[in-house]
Structure 1
Amino acid sequence: MTSTMIKPGQVPLDDWRAIYRGARVALDPGVRPGIARSAEVVEAIIAKGEPVYGINTGFGKLASIQIGIEDLETLQRNIVLSHAAGIGEPMPIPVARLMMVLKLASLARGASGVRLATIDMLLALLERNVIPVVPAQGSVGASGDLAPLAHMTTVMIGVGEAFVDGVRMSAAKALEKAGLKPLTLGPKEGLALLNGTQFSTAYALAGLFEVETLFQTALVTGALSTDAARGSDAPFDRRIHDLRGHSGQKEVGTALRSLIAGSAIRQSHLTDDDRVQDPYCLRCQPQVMGACLDLLRQAANTLETEANGVSDNPLVFSEEGEVVSGGNFHAEPVAFAADMIAMALCEIGSLSERRITLLTDPVLSRLPAFLTPKPGLNSGFMIPQVTAAALVSENKQSAFPASVDSIPTSANQEDHVSMAAHGARRLMRMADNLAGVIGIELLAAAQGCDFHAPLASSGALEAVRARLRREVPTLSDDRYFHSDIQIATAMVKLGELVVASGHPLPGLGVGCR
């Protein structure tokens, strides 16, 4: 397993992707003095006895209540326990782990006032694969992802539940198994661990990384569908896209042109084809998919910045010896990014479903009805297209912008919230739906090309078909379709079609910090 060195404030997107995929983490030792200085500022404030929010006061609407020095440890423990009020299914382990690393990177910027012991506890949990059980519902994405991060923190103090190597158990047992003792939180540490956007950002990044693979795979299936429908590659001409100028559109046009280059199917209808223009789902792929690519890259830039930032409150400025309250916990940037990713998910799936429908329609595709050699006796791809339509519609219903919603909390002290957690959490489910749509398109496009035998597609697309046909044979007569869709969808999720094509395909392309 690879190891990724975390340099707080300088972690590129590629490293966050590797961490989500399971890479081990190490913390740059050069940040430790800055963390220690931040904790010293907190100690100095306590010694003075002046009220400073988050250190020796209550929280939220109770900020005006000063807490005595003898109760500061209890204050931090209480905020963690009281805020662990989430419900619902646990976060997926890879996403929860990513959240922990995001929190580690934020605290290690040295602006949160936590001790090195707290940093080391997070590192130890990650090293020993102790992942908190975090109920995924309960955050409104402002004043931080309080409930989810509280559940993360309870494990550090020996309360709640955790997964150890994937096995669920009590936090106390998990720490014992890992050879760790529960942490006693110091002043401000409970609040520092709870405040922040790491839950929302982890889900948004996970969704982004899944969508990147699906986007690239949809380019492959889109090219294969174009050949199956005997579509034209003229709309992929570089000159068209250079005149408009959008970078995503130009890159998608180049990719599609490259994927289909050398196709004997394409060569067979260059002349004497009475069709003048293809439907938009074929012809406008560079424009639609290119716009999705530009949007995903914009979201990626936002999330990369957020992942490297500090979203705690209040913030400790060691050089000045000051603690300043602000609102970095408000996850509006993450909410907007998640909404953009959701829009791209919808459009990628919508275009893919339209190509499936085109291929199953004998009038548009000039292929046998529903891609079966014996229509009537067999239904062929009739219902897989319906399934794709259902998945696309479900994604559309899920794509209403989360960022435009708000509901006041904490007795109206926190009177505008981002709902970033909702916006980010839906992305994984939407990505699963999209993978199903693209999997069905893969099956349909490969089946369509079968009818053109002995003519073959390009080398890249034939390699993709060969990969599919190793596990899913041509559909001659109706059979149990569910298994075929499951196999194709698994290939899509794993990016196997992208690898099989042998072509470099445009992706997020950021990470240049």
Structure 2
Amino acid sequence: MILLDGKSKRIEEIVRVARGEEVVIPDGARARVEESRRTVERLVAESKRIYGITTGFGKFADVAISLNDLRTLQENLIVSHAVGTGDEFSEPEVRAATFLRANALAKGNSGVRLSLVESLVALLNRGVTPVVPQKGSVGASGDLAPLAHVALVLLGKGMARFGGQVIPGAEALSRAGIEPLTLEAKEGLALTNGVQMTAAVLALTIESGETLARSADILGSVTGQALSVIPDAYKEEIFKLRPHTGAGEVASNLRALIDGSGLTTGSGEVRVQDAYTLRCIPQVHGAVRQALSHARSVVEIESGSATDNPLILDDGTVVSGGNFHGQPLAVAADYLGLSLCSLANISERRVFRLFDPVASGLPTFLARDGGLNSGLMMLQYTAAALCSECKTLAHPASVDTIPTSAGQEDHVSMSTIAARKARDIASNVATVLAIEYVSACQAVDFRDPELLSPPGKAAYDLLRACVPPVLKDREMMGDVERARHLIVSGELVDAVSKVVGEIL
């Protein structure tokens, strides 16, 4: 059970809710929400002119709205803004966004009724997941279109997933025993002000990225052993002289992962020094870890932030600001996406070396009876194609801006685009690492699997339990998919951790 208390949440907590864990509103948060609501109701009663409460939105900020039309104003905002397009976000992504938006409201600076927050919690706890198209947000004034699609379901409109079916929102609420809401002053605005869809996608990408980073260390160590790596490049003393945290963590992992191997060599035995794809694993993988750490801190701060406009301050003052702007997340998402590319790039280069008989001393393409058999040749093509696609996806979204709302909203972040691209890069990286996994184990078969380090042998045995060696040409798509599942599910990290201890 996760607390919906308006405080910052760890990535792990966001992921747990995304995957189905229930949430609860503590008494303290309930009191804060009710107090801020009383402020809004007082201002309405006093006929104060306040943006989004008694005025229109965006370019219409100077248009006064009659007190008789305040409910209509808020519902109009939701139905008019729900204009997303494209494929839908996954259920975990929408659950995470719903949780994050509810948590922002629970902070008590939004002026909504407690019943609205309780309705969002009911969606989460009773398994109603709004259908939200992926495209249409520019990431300022918040993720307006995606969050409007979430809000539609609260009103008994739109579409939702419930019980494994996509059904009208009204039907989903009825089946789940949730009453549709009628929005009051400010509530439509409060439901859509913020980049929680961006934060949701980014949170899940960070969680998968951290698993990929640990897996990359493991697979780099297995490939290194297949290529007779020289461990000197991972000595602790080297990393004290250039103390980047990420590089030090990776070097520590590699020392543990190759300890006890009978396949490593000393300088001068086979070669004087290794190519960069082995020698510089700590520096390259380590930089990715630092990007992940930065992105994690940004999302965790965002998860406990009030992002409305206007905000209800603790002293009852109502102020307009720009906390809804997605630039902090857009920059972090771009940084994360382009850094994850490095995991794929260096992995593909290690695969290339495994397949090159001059570099590896192994059969070309790791083929038995090469010529008749192509071996693993085409796996490198696929890895190269994915790496190239990653480079295209890595073009930053956050450098772009197109003014909206007739120039009133004249700088936007494109944060959701940045987060979606980072997610898609991570997906490609997982497949490239899976190709390295299959390739490294095939290479080890030409050496001697029994000479692997204990952690390397654990990784090898895990794959060989579901993917046999390639003795003659066969369909390998299934091999790669099975290897990929072992990586993204965390089974590879878990299996190796049982032997070596926690992978940093």
TM over 0.5: yes
Instruction: Give the structure 1 partner of residue 84 of structure 2.
Output: 86
C-alpha distance in 1, partners of 2:164/2:232?
Answer: 51
Report Cα offsets for 1:12-38 as digits up to 9, x if no partner: 333223223332222222211110010
Corresponding residue SS for 1:402:
coil
Is the Cα contact below 8 Å between 2:333 and 2:419 reproduced in 1?
yes
Equivalent of residue 418 in structure 2, options 403, 410, 423: 423
Deviation at 1:292, TM superposition (A): 1.1
Instruction: Give the structure 1 partner of residue 407 of structure 2.
Output: 412
Is the Cα contact below 8 Å between 2:190 and 2:308 reproduced in 1?
yes
Report Cα offsets for 1:224-266 as digits up to 9, x if no partner: 0000111111111111111111111111000011001001112
Instruction: Give the structure 2 partner of residue 492 of structure 1.
Output: 487
Corresponding residue SS for 1:202:
helix
The range that moved more, 10-19 or 230-239, is 10-19
Deviation at 1:7, TM superposition (A): 2.9
| Equivalence map 1:71-470=2 (5 Å) | 71-266=69-264, 269-270=265-266, 273-319=269-315, 321-453=316-448, 455-470=450-465
Is the Cα contact below 8 Å between 1:131 and 1:162 reproduced in 2?
yes
Structure 2 CA distance for partners of 1:157 and 1:24, relative to 1, 3 Å = same
Is the Cα contact below 8 Å between 2:3 and 2:26 reproduced in 1?
yes
**Which residue identity lines up with residue 14 of structure 1 in the other structure?**
E
Is the Cα contact below 8 Å between 2:193 and 2:324 reproduced in 1?
yes
Deviation at 1:419, TM superposition (A): 0.5
Deviation at 1:271, TM superposition (A): 7.5
Instruction: Give the structure 2 partner of residue 510 of structure 1.
Output: none
Corresponding residue SS for 2:263:
helix
**Which residue identity lines up with residue 225 of structure 1 in the other structure?**
T
Is the Cα contact below 8 Å between 1:54 and 1:314 reproduced in 2?
yes
Is the Cα contact below 8 Å between 1:37 and 1:318 reproduced in 2?
no
| Equivalence map 1:34-49=2 (5 Å) | 34-49=32-47
Report Cα offsets for 1:76-105 as digits up to 9, x if no partner: 010000001111111100000000000010
Structure 2 CA distance for partners of 1:272 and 1:302, relative to 1, 3 Å = closer
Structure 2 unpaired stretches of 5+: none
Is the Cα contact below 8 Å between 2:231 and 2:266 reproduced in 1?
no
Report Cα offsets for 1:301-356 as digits up to 9, x if no partner: 1111011111111101242x221000111000000110111012100110100000
C-alpha distance in 2, partners of 1:327/1:427?
Answer: 24
RMSD: 1.3
Is the Cα contact below 8 Å between 1:252 and 1:506 reproduced in 2?
no
C-alpha distance in 1, partners of 2:173/2:449?
Answer: 63
**Which residue identity lines up with residue 280 of structure 2 in the other structure?**
C
Is the Cα contact below 8 Å between 1:41 and 1:318 reproduced in 2?
no
Deviation at 1:6, TM superposition (A): 2.9
Corresponding residue SS for 2:459:
helix
Q: Give TM-score, length-normalised by structure 2.
A: 0.98
Corresponding residue SS for 2:107:
coil
C-alpha distance in 2, partners of 1:406/1:233?
Answer: 47
Report Cα offsets for 1:452-501 as digits up to 9, x if no partner: 12652011110110010011111111111111111111111111111111
**Identity of counterpart residues, as a percentage?**
44
Is the Cα contact below 8 Å between 2:4 and 2:106 reproduced in 1?
no
C-alpha distance in 2, partners of 1:270/1:114?
Answer: 67
Deviation at 1:429, TM superposition (A): 1.9
Number of residue pairs matched by the alignment = 502
Is the Cα contact below 8 Å between 2:337 and 2:423 reproduced in 1?
no
C-alpha distance in 2, partners of 1:206/1:482?
Answer: 26
C-alpha distance in 1, partners of 2:365/2:296?
Answer: 39
C-alpha distance in 1, partners of 2:347/2:129?
Answer: 37
Give the ranges of 4+ consecutive aligned residues of structure 1 lying more than 6 Å apart after TM superposition. none
Instruction: Give the structure 2 partner of residue 4 of structure 1.
Output: 2
Report Cα offsets for 1:174-207 as digits up to 9, x if no partner: 0110112210001000000011110111111111
C-alpha distance in 1, partners of 2:330/2:266?
Answer: 47
Structure 1 unpaired stretches of 5+: 508-513
Is the Cα contact below 8 Å between 2:450 and 2:457 reproduced in 1?
no
Is the Cα contact below 8 Å between 1:251 and 1:506 reproduced in 2?
no
Is the Cα contact below 8 Å between 1:35 and 1:110 reproduced in 2?
yes
Corresponding residue SS for 2:398:
helix
